[in-house]
Each structure stands twice: as structure tokens, then as C-alpha cells.
A and B are shown apart, each in its own frame.
Chain A
């Protein structure tokens, strides 16, 4: 036997303790676990413990572990549905054992030597995926097993069902908040910040007078102006876009000004020896050198814009929009709908950020942080 991993040993202890304290759950309304299901879970987990410590064929072992642990986990979590709050200690011990074995599985996968490029990519993808899936499994098992009140934290499956059943509403909210308010506000805010940064660079008066004020304003909690924007621009999306403009303007301004100062003295002297004019130096040297700073602002702003637009909708909006939905559904105790909106916001925000980051990689490929050294 190779060295005993602590996850495996602890999982074995938990399995045995869980077996000693059967049954898994009391019947609340539906049929609790059958003897066959209980035995299957115990056997799968014990077999997984054995495989994980035996060190037989690493790849085959990992595949077996993957199947056994997840079948056991889904049997546990699936069986508890309908018996919310009925789980006994044994259920949680076995769930914890399955989680430890999944942890062990992730360690094993990380340690595998991937041969091909595709296998390496798969390996890089599967580890965080397993990690995320297990957060959901534990969330599901604990909320259902312990009978956590629905308004406090609904289980992920309920949220998923609600999500799937509300696609038209979620889609309309997404269009209203992201494709109208966020996109318009982001483009105008970042564009204005960029242009004003160039003007401030060109005109010393603006640089001296405006940047200190810009720094003060950027420190203000800008979301507080949302009600004023609603007064100015009405209830529909333009008022939300205005909040996004104000939120994204200053990060872009400050970062672009810093970026324009980032090119070295030597490079600027070089352009001077060519008798290069202001615009040539700007476009051929200073803007490319500023690109990492500008993309930094674009990334910061991609998340700021989403936050701004959603929160701005709390202050008055037509009956559509992600912020509107969150604030009204929470009042109606439809917490699963709130979570569904949060999931939409998370997905939209990640895609937005990811697209900006991909463009950044393509544009600033030459920067040491991108090319790696």
C-alpha cells in the first residue's frame, strides 16, 4: 500500500460511523431510503476508499472513484428530496465521506500526468468543475437534509427548476438591464472617460483642474445618485445607463491618464528624434503603451456597470429588469426567483468580463503579464 491520504482515512471512519447510526433519514412525507439504496451507498463509498488508498492504475482508479462517489452522492441527495428536514446524522456523515472522497479524487486528477494537449486542457477544466459541482451537491444535501427554510436558502435544484420555467421573464430582464442599460452606459462612460483623458493630457488646464476633482468624485458612493438620475432621465433604461456612465467614467479617466504617462522617457525621446508630432507619438507609442491600463479599466468597469444598472433599478423602473425583479420577488418571498436572477447576472457578468479579458489578451499579447515572462 502506498501512503494513506487523510481524506481516505477520514472517509472510512465516517462511512463506518454512518453505518453504525442508520437509518439515513426519518420518513417525513415520502418514502425514505430503501435498504438496497442504503447498502449501495455504503458499498460504493467503502469501495471508493479502498480504490483511493490501493494506488492501482491511477487513471482507472480515478474513473472508478469518479463514478462511485457521484452515484453515491446523487443517491443520497436524490433520496432526501421529499423528506426535507428528515435527515439523521448518518446521512450527513455519508455525505461528508463522499465529499472527502471527491476531494481525494481531485487530488488524484491533479497528480495525473496528462499526455496530450487535449488531456491537459481537460484536466485543467475538470478540477474546478468538480469543485463547483460539489459546492452545489453540499448545498443541496444540507438545505434539503436539514430542512433549511426556503426563504433563507432554497436548494439549487429548486432554483434551477425556477430558472428553466421562467426563461421568457429572465430573458426580458436580461435585455432590459444588460443589453440596454449596461451596454449603452458602458460604451458612453468608457468612451467619454477615454476622450476626456486624452483632452486632459493635451490641455494642461484640464489636467491640473479636473483630475483632482475626478479623484474626489470617484471616491463618492456614486450609486447614491441613482434616484436623481431617475428624476432626470425617467423610469426607463436611460436613467440606469446614466448611472452606469457616471460609475464607469472615472475609472476609465484615471487609468487612461496613468497609462498615457506609462511610456518611458527613452521611448519619448526616440519619437522626438524623429521629429514626430503629438498625434503620431500618441498613436504609435503612448496609446499602445497605455493599453494594459485601459484594459484594466475596461475590466473593472464591466463588473461595475452590471452592479450599477441592477442597483439603480431598485429606485424606480418599469416592470421589467433584473434589479426590478430582484426587489419585487424578494418582497413576495419568491427567493428562488431572486437566486435565478442572481444566476443570470453571474453568467452575464462572467461572459462580459471574459470577452473583455480575451480582447485584452489579443491586444496586449506583448505585455510580460500576458506572454509570461
Chain B
């Protein structure tokens, strides 16, 4: 309907933005390391990471459990402090960026507050950031429409399905219009069918809003389908083994996943994952 029409036209905008701003860097890490002090001794979560994320990119971080992909996202979000190296977010330190509300973060679980309706969950960040009532209502309307949840404002989270809850949590991250969206395996707990659906909706949303997205996953098809850039990581210590620039077009119907081009990228990701493992086991 008109949603898909809007998405098609917005796609052009997205493409334009991505090419136009390929020079700007949103996240820049140099020699970044993080060592956790645990009871079993120090654990190298991240070791010597060099990475740039450009404006408008959709970057996936993929790797086995314990490779530090979530930790890296948390460092960007200033939820963890690196022990060595530098990282900048929008040219600021992560802490400054967090205090400027430069990013929206979507967690593995929806994490909606059960005592708040969907409406009040989505407007929670706006309340904290001191938006006016009228502004909150306007943004609520806009973001719920973006994630196709219009009409569920008065429901409580526990009255919705898992997929709808996760969409509401994405709406919550979008509500304050940060240019950077950090997503930590947001669809990991959902079944394959819902996941496919949300993946295509996410692409559509990315095209419409021209945000920069950092997306953690351990699904190869998901990473290849969504990303303009795939960062392959390996564990103990967590490091980057490969950075793959996707050659897929911006417009990606779900059946693009059966094209040879798609399979070739997926193959390269799988090789990268295997290489990361080979001198480990």
C-alpha cells in the first residue's frame, strides 16, 4: 500500500545519503582493547580493534559467542570502558556522546517496562529528556507508524507477541531521533518467520530514516541480508578477522537471499568465521 510506496521513494533518499556522506565517520576505533577482571583472572574481551563506521552505513558484527561483538557495541554506547586504545563517536568520547543522547540502543530482549503501556514505553526516553507533551505525542505517532504498531498505544507489553514487543523497543530507540542506532541481537529470541519479516521492515526503516546502524548478530544470512558492511570477529581475544563490503544493491527483496551474489558473500563470511577459529582449536 502507501507504506511500500513511501519506502520505495525513501529508498532513493537513503541511497543518496549513503553515497553523499561516505566520507563522514560516525564511529572510529583505534587499537581498542578491553580486559575484564574476573574471578578466574583477566579475560581479553577485545584486542586491538581498528574500525571505522561511516555515516549511513549498516554495519553487522558477526562472530561466535564470546568474540566481543556485544562488548564492542557496549563500548560505543559507553556501557563499558575500554582499557586501551581510543574510540570516538560522532567525534566525541562515548561518554559525551551518551550524554548528548547520540544513539538509540536496542537490546537482545525488548526490555519494555510492564507497568507502562506501549505508548508510555515509547515516550519513556522523551520524558527523561524533557520533551513537551505535544512533542511526545507527535513523536509517538511517527515512530509507531515506522514500526507498524499504530493502534497498539494503550496495550501493555505483556499483551503483545514477542515480535511486536521487539518492534516497540525499536520504536523506543527511534523516538528521540538519534542518528546512530545500536542493535544487539535484537531478533535473536524470535522465530525465523517473524525474524524475516522484521529484517525486511528494518531495512525499509533504515532506508526511510537514513540512520547509521550497528547490528550485532550471529546469523550469517541476517548479516548478509541487512548490511552494507560485515565485520567478522573471532573470540579469545575478541578481534576483527575480516571486513566485508557488501556488493548487494540497496533494494533487497527477501528472495535476494537465493542469488549467487548473496551466497558468495555468505560464503566469505563463513570462511572468515572458520579462519578465526582455526588457530584456536
Binding site for B on A (CB under 8 A): 264, 266-267, 269-276, 280, 284-285, 288, 291, 364-367, 371
Contact = CB atoms under 8 A, between A and B. Distances in A.
Interface in B89-136: 98-101, 103-105, 107-109, 111, 113-115, 124-125, 127-129
B113 A288 contact: yes
Given A264-B111, A275-B100, 10 more contacts: A267-B113, A270-B107, A273-B105, A274-B124, A274-B125, A274-B128, A274-B176, A284-B113, A366-B115, A366-B158
Contact of A288 (B100, B103, B107, B115): B115
16 contacts: A267-B111, A269-B79, A269-B105, A271-B128, A272-B79, A273-B79, A274-B101, A274-B124, A274-B128, A275-B101, A284-B113, A284-B124, A284-B128, A285-B113, A288-B113, A365-B115
Interface in B117-170: 124-125, 127-129, 156, 158
Contacts of B107: 266, 269-270
Contacts of A264: 111
Given A266-B107, A284-B124, A284-B127, A273 B113 contact: no
Contacts of B77: 273
B114 A366 contact: yes
A371 B107 CA distance: 25
Contacts of B79: 269, 272-273
Contacts of A284: 113, 124, 127-128
Contact of A272 (B98, B109, B124, B158): B98
A271 B127 CA distance: 12
Interface residues of B, number: 25
Contacts of A272: 78-79, 98
Contacts of B115: 288, 291, 364-366
A266 B111 contact: yes
A292 to B, nearest CB: 11
A371 B101 CA distance: 35
B158 A270 contact: no
Contacts of B128: 271, 274-276, 280, 284
A272 B103 CA distance: 12
A13 B111 CA distance: 64
Nearest to B77: A273
A118 to B, nearest CB: 27
A269 B77 CA distance: 10
Contact of B109 (A266, A275, A276, A280): A266
A275 B111 contact: no
A267 to B, nearest CB: 6
A273 B98 contact: yes
A371 B158 contact: yes
Contacts of B100: 275
Contacts of A365: 115
B179 to A, nearest CB: 14
Contacts of B176: 274
Contacts of B111: 264, 266-267, 270
Give the 6 A-B residue pairs with the shortest CB-CB distance, closest first.
A366-B114, A273-B105, A366-B115, A274-B125, A276-B128, A275-B99
Nearest to A270: B111
A311 B194 CA distance: 62
Contacts of A367: 114
Nearest to B108: A266
A57 to B, nearest CB: 42
A264 B99 CA distance: 22
Contact of A275 (B98, B108, B113, B127): B98
A217 B211 CA distance: 56
B101 A366 contact: no
B67 to A, nearest CB: 20
Interface in B226-268: none
Contacts of A280: 128
B184 to A, nearest CB: 10
B113 A274 contact: no
A257 to B, nearest CB: 20
A270 B127 CA distance: 14
A366 B115 CA distance: 5
B183 to A, nearest CB: 12
Contacts of A267: 111, 113
A102 B125 CA distance: 60
B98 to A, nearest CB: 6
- Determine which residue in A267, A274, A367 has the highest number of CB atoms from chain B within 10 A of its CB, and name it: A274
A367 B176 CA distance: 28
A291 B129 CA distance: 24
B2 to A, nearest CB: 32
A272 B78 CA distance: 9
A264 to B, nearest CB: 7
Contact of B103 (A266, A273, A364): A273
A272 B111 CA distance: 13
Nearest to A269: B79
A274 B104 CA distance: 8
Nearest to A281: B128
Nearest to A275: B99
Interface in B182-220: none
A286 to B, nearest CB: 11
Nearest to A277: B128
A260 to B, nearest CB: 16
Contacts of A274: 101, 124-125, 128-129, 176
Contacts of B101: 274-275
Contacts of B109: 266
B105 A270 contact: yes
